[in-house]
Structure 1
Amino acid sequence: MKYKIAYLDENNGWINTFYQTFKTEFDILRIKVDNNSSIGELVEQLMASNLDAIVTDYLLEEEGDVSFNGNKIVEAIKQIKPHFPLIMLTSYQKQAISFTDDVHIIYSKDILDGENEDELEIFKTKIKSNISNYYKKIEDTNDRIENLVERRNTHGLEIPEEEELTKLYILFDELNPEGKDMPANLIHRDSISKLNEFVTETKEILEELKKLNKKK
């Protein structure tokens, strides 16, 4: 079964090039960004498409029809799924780096020209590895939460373990904002509500601590 990835660009030529380059290894959702596109609508479409990764062009404004660049799409996705596999391709790496927090997701668009097959194969492997690592992180977090919850219910937890469980709850909420595949111990509606309340309260506390640290 192939991984499903989206590619966003304002140029039909680049969209076709990307599709032809990666269609053997991946199922490709091709999205043309134009003057009718909005970040909100694009994110909604992406989130509803059961994707394993998202690749976007950086300079979507290049042809003058779009009022935002790919980094804004990346930021919007990260607000919802901070750990989701994202890649940004560009012919303007210096500019992209200046406007992107995570510079490690930026790759040269020259990789699509087909002149360096070894580099292209490495890039494809990186995409697959990013996706598999993402799902492994979800699985490992899920397993560890189940382990700690079971231990807490039977023997109780030490303070460091309670702290670890708190961090894992927050991480799991970031990895699974839709609440899918919750640990078996937490699938009851009351448990999920309590978990959501707990995560929200913990995030609020962390934000307050950040504000206090900035004032120092």
Structure 2
Amino acid sequence: MTTVLILGAHGQIAQLAREQLLTQTDSQLKLFLRKANRLSIRDVQREQIIEGNTTNQAALVAAMTGVEVVYANLAGSNIEQQAQSVVTAMQSAGVKRLIWISTLGIYDEVPGRYGQWNHQMLDNGYLPTYAAAAKVIEESDLDYTIIRPAWLDNHDEIDYEITHRHDQFKGTEVSRKSIAALVTHLIQNPTEANRDSLGVNKPNTEGDKPKWY
């Protein structure tokens, strides 16, 4: 039985991962978010809700008591600061395994016209800050996996393929449910993809941009 701390537990992917973890595993879940009233307990035997801010070191360290895996589903203009706070807290608490949701394009790994379009959409403060956050994690001693999803949709499907840190990114889109499934898989297989950065896309979705644009 694994105890998982979910940071940003109200996020869409985090809620899908929570559902999969409750139905497919016996993991204990600590649900960390800024406003606790946004969530309610589904399983009183396996879940705990913790209100807090990821920039609060003391709150993070306390939440990590007894935790084996930290899954961070965070966002915001201060994402680099949040990354540093999470890394420092994990080091203080003695927790090694981190699953971190980022975005495609942080290594300039998206080729061709799709890469150009992605830059146009995300360069305005988004890609640089997420790239800086990933660098903080990669320079740590943690057993991290960074996940870089393609553009996200809400399709009720699990269908994805993976590229690695030094590969070119592939397709243009992927479902949030697929990313949640990958997170669930990594929690169940904690030695897989350690110190790697995974690009995730739905197969056969190559193009100049996602089809809904």
Q: Which has the larger radius of gyration?
A: 1
Q: Whose strand fraction is larger, Structure 1's or Structure 2's?
A: 2
Name the TM tier (shorter chain).
0.3 to 0.5
Q: Select the structure that is richer in helix.
A: 1
Could you state the TM-score of these two structures normalised by the residue count of structure 1? Answer: 0.44
* Higher RCO (CA < 8 A, seq sep 6+): 2
